[in-house]
């Protein structure tokens, strides 16, 4: 019983509150990640970072110019896979004013994309588009909804009016 209660993999290697860190690539600041709490588990076969109270990711076009924001109630980062999973009230916003709402989303750092196979709603300046799943670049500037439901306004003068592919 004592061994089950005190198993090493049940305790984080790192635990911190009120965290803010910069995500960089090739020396350039790509994002700022803030969270009320973070737990990091390194001493296990599949190491991960857990954000049990959610997080906020702010992407930059060129630091400090904000490109988009993503927030969620819970998140986990699989360190070796370089993938993040966001769950619960996931909201993404881009500079065009598009707003994505879903309950589940994945960020693949290697491919620089975000996606989901769950219900999604994207609100643009003129439309509310719903569907099952979406794919987008990691900054949510270019996106497409899979299995679209509902109607969409199309401006014949501007074929890419809503940012969709």
pLDDT in tens, 42-98: 877 899 999 999 999 998 888 888 889 999 999 999 999 999 999 999 999 999 999
Q: Are 124 and 97 in contact (CB under 8 A)?
A: yes
- Least confident among 15-24, 75-84, 99-108, 145-154: 145-154
Name the DSSP letter for residue 46.
Answer: S
- Summarised one tens digit per residue, pLDDT across range 136-147 is 998 899 999 999
* Range of weakest confidence among 1-10, 38-47, 59-68, 151-160: 1-10
Considering the chain, what is the average pLDDT of its residues? 87
Confidence of residue 41 (pLDDT cuts 50, 70, 90): very high
Is residue 113 classed exposed, middle or buried when 0-12, 13-18 and 19+ CB atoms within 10 A define those classes? middle
**Whole-model pTM?**
0.80
* Dist CA 53 CA 72 (whole Å): 9
Share of the chain above pLDDT 90, in %: 61
Mean pLDDT of 128-157: 85
Gap between the Cα atoms of 62 and 113, Å rounded: 18
């Amino acid at each position: 019983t004592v061994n089950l209660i005190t198993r090493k993999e049940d305790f984080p290697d790192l635990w911190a509150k009120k965290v803010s860190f910069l995500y960089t690539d090739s020396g350039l600041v790509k994002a700022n990640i803030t969270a009320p709490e973070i737990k990091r588990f390194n001493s296990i076969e599949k190491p991960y970072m857990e954000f049990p109270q959610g997080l906020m990711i702010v992407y930059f076009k060129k630091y400090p110019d904000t490109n988009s924001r993503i927030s969620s109630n819970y998140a986990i980062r699989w360190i070796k896979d370089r993938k993040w999973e966001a769950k619960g009230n996931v909201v993404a916003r881009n500079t065009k004013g598009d707003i994505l709402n879903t309950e589940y989303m994945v960020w693949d750092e290697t491919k620089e994309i975000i996606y989901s196979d769950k219900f999604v709603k994207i609100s643009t300046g003129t439309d509310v588009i719903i569907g099952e799943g979406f794919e987008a670049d990691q900054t949510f500037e270019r996106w497409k909804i899979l299995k679209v439901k509902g109607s969409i306004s199309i401006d014949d003068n501007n074929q890419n009016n809503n940012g969709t592919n």
